[in-house]
Amino acid sequence: MPLALAIVSDRTFTPGDDATESPEQVAFRASARSFLSAHAEPRAEVDPWQISGFPDDDEARAYFEHGRAWQRTLATHGWAGLTWPTEYAGGDHPAWAERIFSEESSAYGSGPGFIGATIAMLGPTLLAHATHEVKARHLPSLLNGEVAWCQLFSEPGAGSDLAGLATRAVLDGDEWVVDGQKVWNSCAQFADWGFLLARTDPDVPKHQGITFLLVDMTSPGIEVRPLIQANGSAHFSEVFLSGVRIPADQVVGEVHGGWGAARTVLANEAAFIGRGGGAPTSDRLRDLAALHGGLEDPRVRQRLATIISREKLQALMGQRIQSAVRNGHKPPFDPALTKVMAAGTRVLTGNLAAELAGPAALVGNDPIGNWVRAEVVNRFSISIGGGTTEVQKNNLAERSLGLPREPGIDRDTAWKDVPRS
């Protein structure tokens, strides 16, 4: 049997069938299955947010809180922060625990939603860079969903070139006073706290004068303005900070040395996006191919096999990156590679779904049509979010392949002396 057909037709295989698992892993998997069967929701045909983005703010809030409720359930029953230290409300399990739980969770519809993304980005960053006091204060409430966070990184003039950010923070006694603007902030309107980058020393090159700060989103001087998208939803916001005061002890890493913590966030963001979550998209794509007779076509089988292989590889790469970061090690490869690969897989999936289902599926209101439409509409989304594919490829060329950097006058010039339009 050709390899492509063998992969596509193997409907009964699950990671839990692997006879190489240790008794400890087998027992852990059985416990995960028991918990999920008792508490998780059935898997939906398609995530409703991917279809509409929830133009109604009450619906968006309900979706956000639904994810928060599941995170609380995970924490209550000991399934959140599986590899985190017990000192900070984690489970202190080996890295394989998260892989197994993710595999078992893929059969269900429950998930933490956007709260899960911020936990994946901020949690490992605090573990790696924050003081014990900051960890003890923020990690337990982050993990149990009590406090929701948003990322305050991008600015109107600093997106792909994040280190060029202009938001300023000036130390006034025992407080930082922050002024500036952030943009493309997911779910900022629902967040309790934010993690932000601010320029604290304009007299050094752009990467050196940045500080990583934690801010209470109810602080005076913070204004969150929703950005209305073409479909009417407001997933993103712009955040204005005017004289916002942040206690000096809410710094992560060194003052003026926040770029290291920022890179940890970006590495975990890339890994999170790259490995995905929930049920593999290829499962639904395979069902769609079977429905339309595509499994009889060797070309379709080969394309399916490619997508399945890429998904599995992305998941393993993401797990290796996050495991390394959690343990204070350098990732075994550049996280940008996972992100670039995932963006390509998403395009391959959307293209094949559209070809298999045909034009009629794109306007239908049935479960299949909704899923196909979501895949087609969103196939380029992660080519932009979390760093564009073009920028990620530049990073890979420079950092991994050792190719010459693109010329730029701002790399070794004090930030304040760099010309700006």
Same domain, 227 and 272: no
CA atoms within 13 A on the CB side of 181: 10
pLDDT interval class at 276 (50, 70, 90): low
pTM: 0.84
Mean pLDDT on 347-367: 82
Same domain, 391 and 270: yes
Mean pLDDT on 135-157: 96
The residues near 256 (Cβ < 8 Å, ≥ 6 apart) are 200, 201, 204, 208, 209, 210, 211
Supply angle C-alpha 264, 344, 53, rounded to 5: 75
CATH (domain of 218): 2.40.110.10
Residue 172 burial by Cβ neighbours in a 10 Å radius (0-12, 13-18, 19+): exposed
- Residue 257 and residue 230 in contact, taking contact as beta carbons nearer than 8 Å: no
The CA distance from 245 to 226, in Å, is 23
Mean pLDDT on 53-81: 87
pLDDT at 58: 80
Mark which of 214, 241, 257 sits at the end of a domain.
257
Residue 172 CA to chain centroid, in angstroms?
34
Same domain, 340 and 362: yes
Is 78 within a domain? no
Range of the domain at 394: 261-399
Is 303 within a domain? yes
CATH (domain of 302): 1.20.140.10
Could you report the per-residue pLDDT of 160-216, keeping only the tens digit for each? 789 999 999 999 999 999 999 999 999 999 999 999 999 999 999 999 999 999 999
Q: Tell which wins on pLDDT, 127 or 5.
A: 127
In this predicted structure, which of 26-35, 144-153, 395-404 has the lowest mean pLDDT?
Answer: 395-404
With a cut of 60, say whether residue 6 has pLDDT above it: no
Same domain, 204 and 332: no
With a cut of 60, say whether residue 22 has pLDDT above it: yes
Can you list the positions of beta strands (E) in 54-154?
A: 149-152
pLDDT interval class at 241 (50, 70, 90): very high
| From 269, 296, 390, 406, active-site residue | 269
Same domain, 247 and 294: no
Residue 292 region by backbone torsions, left for phi larger than 0, else alpha for psi between -120 and 50, else beta:
alpha
pLDDT at 8: 35
pLDDT at 14: 43
With a cut of 90, say whether residue 378 has pLDDT above it: no
pLDDT interval class at 231 (50, 70, 90): low
With a cut of 80, say whether residue 150 has pLDDT above it: yes
The yes-or-no answer on residue 269 being catalytic is: yes
In this predicted structure, which of 72-86, 250-264, 371-385 has the lowest mean pLDDT?
Answer: 371-385
The CA distance from 354 to 151, in Å, is 33
The total number of structural domains that make up the chain: 2
pLDDT at 277: 56
Same domain, 238 and 332: no
Same domain, 195 and 210: yes
pLDDT at 20: 79
Mark which of 257, 281, 298 sits at the end of a domain.
257
Alpha-carbon Rg of the chain, whole angstroms? 22
Same domain, 208 and 316: no
Supply angle C-alpha 88, 29, 341, rounded to 5: 80
With a cut of 80, say whether residue 43 has pLDDT above it: no
Could you report the per-residue pLDDT of 246-258, keeping only the tens digit for each? 999 999 999 999 9
The CA distance from 196 to 350, in Å, is 34
Same domain, 234 and 198: yes
- The H or E element containing residue 304 is helix 298-326
